[in-house]
Homo-oligomer: A and B are copies of this chain.
Amino acid sequence: METTEQLIEWLSRYGADEDGGVTRLLYTRSWKEAQEALADKMKSLGLQPAFDDAGNLFGRLQGTDPESPCILTGSHVDTVQRGGKYDGAYGIVAGLAALSRLRDRYGAPRKTIEVAAFCEEEGSRFPYNYWGSTFMTGAADYKDIEHAHDRRGVPFMQAMRESGFGPGSHGRGPRKDIDTFIELHIEQGAILEREGKTIGIVEQIVGLQRYTVRVKGEANHAGTTPMSYRRDAMRAASEMVAAVMDSADEIGAPLVATVGQMELIPGTPNVIPGEVIFTIDVRHPDGLRLEEACARMIKLLRSIAERRDATIEVERWMNTAPVDMDAELTGAIERLCQMRNFSYRRMPSGAGHDAQILAACCRTAMIFVPSRNGVSHSPLEYTKPEHLEAGVQVLMDLLYQLAYEA
C-alpha cells in the first residue's frame, strides 16, 4: 500500500512543471490525464469510479445498507498556474488512502463512502470558481458558465465538450444522496506550523468582501506644482492604505485586510497621479464583524479623501458570507485528535474551499494539516509525511465512526 506522500508524488506527475510545481487547468490534457489516472487508481484500490457530466470523479466504496445516504470526502483536482503538489490533491489522495485502508481492514461499511476529485475549484482557467462542487450540489448549472471564456478565448462549454464532458455525456448530473462531506486540505497558512500543531480543525470558512477604490485628484506637473496646490491622488491613496492596515490591527485577529493591487494614472515619475485605483480584500469568520470592519474602513477612506481634496468611488464586487462547519463533526474530530494524541487547534479557514459549497447542502467538516512556511500556490508547497499521515488517520477514524459504527 502506498503512503500518502507516494500518492501525492504519483498524482503530481500529471501536469508536472519543470520546477517541481504542477499545472492542471480545467479540461486541459494534463487535467484529463490526472482524472483518468485517478479513475484507474480507484479501480485498483477496490473503489468503483464514476464521472459526472461536469467531469467530477467519484470513487465509491459501496455500503451494505442500500438505503443509506452517501458520505463524501475529497477535494479538487485542478490547480492554479504553476501551483504545488498538495493543494486539492492532498484531499483526494487522502480519501483514496483512507477508503482503501478502511476496506482492507474492516471490509464494506454500512453506509456508502465516496471520494471525490472535484473537477474545478481554483478559477484559474475560466473566471468561475467552484464549478465542480456547485455543479454537483446543483448550486450552478451550464447556464452559469455558458458565457465564460479562458484567456485564449476558448468558451467554457467548448472546452468541456472537447474534454469529453458536458450535458448528457455521462448521464450523471447533480446529486441529492450526500449527507456528509469531509474535506482534508493543507492549511495554506503558517498558523499550525508556528504553533507546532499537527491538525487544524476548521470552525468556519471566513466571509470575504472585496472592494475597488477609485481615488480621483488632479494630474499635474511634478516640478511646477507647489505641494500646497496639489490634489495628489497617490498621497491620498497611500494614507488610505496605511489607515486600512492600522484599522485592521486595531480590530484585531482574526480580521485580515489586504491591498494587493494598485494602479496609478498616468503612472510616470514626473506627473502627480490624477487617479489611483486599488483593491481591498477583507476577511473575518463572523459576518457581522466583517460588515462592521468594512464600514469602518470605508468611513476612514472617505474622511481621508475629504482631507486631501480628492473624490472616491468605492465599489464592492465580492461579498461572500462566512460558512460554519458542522459543530457535531468538529467536536468529533477534536475528540479523535485527543484520542490519537495529535496536537491540534480550532481555527477559521482564511481561504475558500469546496467545503463552503457543500456546507449549504449537508453537514460538512474540514481538517487542515500544516503548510511549510505557510506557502501555497507555489512549487514550494510542502507538508511533512507524518502530517500527511496524521490527517489521513483522523479522516479514517472519522469515516469509521460515521460509516461503520453509526
Contacts and interface: CB of A to CB of B under 8 A. Distances in A.
A208 B223 CA distance: 9
Contact of A221 (B237, B254, B351): B351
A257 B272 CA distance: 9
Contact of A351 (B224, B228, B350): B224
A236 to B, nearest CB: 10
Interface in A255-276: 255-262, 264, 266-273
A65 interface: no
A104 to B, nearest CB: 35
A259 B242 contact: no
Contacts of A271: 258, 260
A225 interface: yes
Contact of A269 (B220, B256, B272, B279): B279
A23 interface: no
A262 B264 contact: yes
A54 to B, nearest CB: 25
A314 to B, nearest CB: 14
A191 B210 CA distance: 41
Interface string A234-266: 110111111001001100011111111110101
Interface in A7-41: none
A237 B248 CA distance: 17
A208 to B, nearest CB: 7
B351 A256 contact: no
B255 A227 contact: yes
Contact of A238 (B206, B238, B268, B279): B238
Interface in A345-374: 349-352, 374
B222 A256 contact: yes
A189 interface: yes
Contacts of A208: 223
Contacts of A255: 227
Nearest to A318: B269
Interface string A164-207: 00000000000000000000000111110010000000000010
A376 B223 CA distance: 12
A257 B237 CA distance: 16
Contacts of A376: 221, 224
Contacts of A125: none
A259 B190 CA distance: 34
A227 B242 contact: no
A364 to B, nearest CB: 18
A260 B272 CA distance: 6
A283 interface: yes
B189 A221 contact: yes
A261 B256 contact: no
Contact of A227 (B188, B189, B249, B267): B249
Interface of A: 187-191, 194, 206, 208, 210, 220-229, 232, 234-235, 237-242, 245, 248-249, 253-262, 264, 266-273, 279, 281, 283, 349-352, 374, 376-377
> Top 6 nearest A-B pairs by Cβ distance?
A189-B224, A223-B350, A238-B241, A222-B258, A224-B350, A269-B279
Given A238-B259, A261-B267, 9 more contacts: A190-B229, A208-B223, A221-B350, A222-B350, A224-B374, A227-B248, A227-B257, A260-B268, A261-B268
22 contacts: A188-B221, A188-B224, A189-B226, A208-B223, A220-B374, A222-B283, A222-B350, A224-B349, A224-B351, A224-B374, A225-B256, A226-B254, A227-B248, A227-B249, A235-B242, A235-B259, A242-B242, A260-B266, A260-B269, A261-B264, A261-B268, A262-B267
